[in-house]
Structure 1
Amino acid sequence: MAFAVIPAPSIFAAVDRSYDRAVGINQSTLVANQGGMFAKIFPPSTSTAVIAGSDFVPSVETVTKLDPDVVIQWGDRGEGVTQPIETAGYPVIGLRYGTQEDLETWIRLFSEIAGKPDRGKELVQWHSELASLRSAVATQTGHRPRAMILSKTGEAFSTTSPTGYDGFQFPLVGADLVTKGLSSDSLQVSPEQIVAWDPEVIMLSGFDKSVPADVYADPRFANIAAVRDKRVYKTPLGAYRWQVPSMELPLMWQWMNRILYPNSKDGVLREKVRAAFDSLYGYRITDEEIDQVLRLDLNKDSADYDQFFR
């Protein structure tokens, strides 16, 4: 199978508990594989052939050379990303993005392809943890922290869509998403806009190299609440980036809720990570590797992050 969709290989690998069927991936997926736990769980993932980049336009030459049985591609981004594959004679499965229901459809679909329908049901059931989290958040009273996800490429800042998956996640975990009125197609934002929003919590994207120390050191952001209170955090990187639809999303929801509403150190999230890696990938993750997933090295100076220390 070849996967132009960025998070799809890690989801399929969790369903199949194997990486053996993947022959091609997106360039962004390769970067994540090489920088996170996927490399340790499935070493061949660090050298998989690339069939598409950030625009998802497939390299038909590479696809033809790999000769996959099927190509997993976006089904809602126009014929420009699907027709070249079909014209070359390869079947395409088109995925739709945007909701938790879409993600659960991917899981069920992949479980059918893998011939493991019961596995799909099991994994979808794990994602139903969002119902219990919703209930817990509903009982929280008082102030809801203003929060956002922030990306930086060169000197340009951008954020995530308030109407997409992040628009769903932030209320789920008890946050007030500061970008909810943003209508920009590019999702680029100026430093002045970030200052005007004055987020109390900033979560830094896992798709770039920005780190909390960069934000703390930027004089333009000195008066932002998140900077004053040291509440800037790099999002975790497990088998895949936690911030977007993936198999490890229930862990992301727990992490977000805990940095928004810090608790004393109790090891709960660490043990959830340990259990998840065993269940999803059949991998015994070490304490040092959990430190890596939670980005303890990058987040150690941020407020209340010691709740995740060993």
Structure 2
Amino acid sequence: MPLLLRCLLALACLSVWPGPAAARMVTDAAGRRVEVPERIERVLAAGPPAAVLLYTLAPRKMIGWPRAPSPEERAFLTPDAAALPSTGRLTGRGGTANVEAVLALKPDLIVDIGSTGPTYASLADRVQAQTGIPYLLLDGSFSKVPETFRTLGAVIGVQAEGDALAAESERILTAVTAAVAAVPPERRPRVYYGRGPRGLETGLAGSINTEIIEAAGGRNVATAEGMGGLAGISPEQVLAWNPDVIVALDPAFAANLPNDPLWSGLKAVRDGRVYAAPVLPFGWVDAPPGVNRLIGLRWLAGLFFPDSFPEPLAEAVTRFYRRFYHVEPSPAQVEALLGATAPLDKRR
């Protein structure tokens, strides 16, 4: 074969040989400019809120959970997602993932959602520098849920689904906001949110863990302690606040309050207004403080202002789980979810 012909053939081969994937620049919620691949198929969630966001938006692009789902949680997840392994967590309390583990998973992108402050932006920069994997930090504020769906949907190639979930999120937020706006501030209940087996951890003013209470029209009594995140609270403080409503993360704690001399005299306990927040497959109030709180918002607002929501809660729950969690819960499952949320006087 003549030399010229061989050179032309070589050039033709080079012109169609696949090179590195195209990339684009994305600005995340912390103002970081991150170069991401044009095509993204494998996404690693840095922590639980990001895992919930990713599962609702694009479960097929997930490569694992920060913590493997329990059997009870798996009952409310798709079989494929329920079977995904534990990948550990890069952020928050008890981080377990390391650089080697992240590299072994071969993600195209790492996503975190929550605070966008300097501490988390610095962590994102450090992990990205150590692994060479693009790391996006998204705003976890409750009011930003629709925007977050749209942003991540566009980045990972599921824009239509991101827009659809954003629209449904806006519908829920708008309905609750309108209902709350119609209630004078003095008629809004004073609420204590108790976390932990003794109910003595809560979120202060500005905490992402309790912002849903204010969004649902409640007044978080712990804001009296000032700004902050999660904090330990003494029983004496709760007694002094004497809340109208108690929302508990631990159902055993909630069920025991009428028998506990320390708590039984509180107005909320006397009036039977103690509620255990559902937690399957994810918490309705926090645990984690992610997009899972949308159904918790509807639940809490309905507890505070029942006349403002004519749709039965069971129907709202079924629709939410179908749309966001990709499962059709049975009537028995919905009844079990809502059973522990009934006021104390209806559970006796």
- Describe the SS at the equivalent of 1:94: strand
Q: Distance in 1 between matches of 2:155 and 2:337?
A: 29
Amino acid at match of 1:170: I
- Tell me the alpha carbon deviations over residues 97-136 of structure 1, each in whole angstroms, 9 at most, x when there is no partner: 33412x3332112212342212222211212232232222
Q: Distance in 1 between matches of 2:347 and 2:319?
A: 21
The question of 1:93 aligning with 2:133 is answered no
CA RMSD of aligned residues (A): 3.0
- Describe the SS at the equivalent of 1:203: strand
The question of 1:72 aligning with 2:111 is answered yes
Amino acid at match of 1:193: Q
Quick one: which of 263, 268, 276 aligns to 2:312?
268
Q: Distance in 2 between matches of 1:70 and 1:276?
A: 27
Structure-2 change in CA distance of 1:210 and 1:72 (3 Å): farther
TM-score (norm 2): 0.73
Q: Identity, % of aligned pairs?
A: 20
Q: Distance in 1 between matches of 2:216 and 2:234?
A: 26
Amino acid at match of 2:159: P
Structure-2 change in CA distance of 1:38 and 1:23 (3 Å): farther
- Describe the SS at the equivalent of 2:222: coil
Whichever of the two has the greater Rg, that structure is 2
- Describe the SS at the equivalent of 2:148: helix
- Describe the SS at the equivalent of 2:140: coil
Match of 1:212 in 2: 254
Answer yes or no: is the 8 Å Cα contact 2:150–2:159 preserved in 1. Answer: yes
Spell out the pairing of 1:95-110 with structure 2 (5 A cutoff). 95-101=138-144, 103-110=145-152
- Describe the SS at the equivalent of 1:187: strand
Spell out the pairing of 1:2-81 with structure 2 (5 A cutoff). 2-16=44-58, 19-27=59-67, 30-31=68-69, 34-36=71-73, 39-42=76-79, 44-45=81-82, 47-52=84-89, 54-56=93-95, 58-73=97-112, 75-76=116-117, 77-78=119-120, 79-80=122-123
- Describe the SS at the equivalent of 1:25: coil
Q: 1:14, CA displacement in angstroms?
A: 1.9
Match of 2:165 in 1: 123
Q: Distance in 1 between matches of 2:142 and 2:327?
A: 28
Q: 1:143, CA displacement in angstroms?
A: 2.6
Gaps of 5+ in 2: 1-42
Q: Distance in 2 between matches of 1:231 and 1:117?
A: 42
Amino acid at match of 1:268: P
Match of 2:301 in 1: 257
- Tell me the alpha carbon deviations over residues 109-167 of structure 1, each in whole angstroms, 9 at most, x when there is no partner: 221234221222221121223223222222235632111211125x5721023213456
The question of 1:161 aligning with 2:191 is answered no
- Describe the SS at the equivalent of 1:162: coil
Amino acid at match of 1:136: A
Gaps of 5+ in 1: none
Answer yes or no: is the 8 Å Cα contact 2:205–2:229 preserved in 1. Answer: no
The question of 1:134 aligning with 2:177 is answered yes
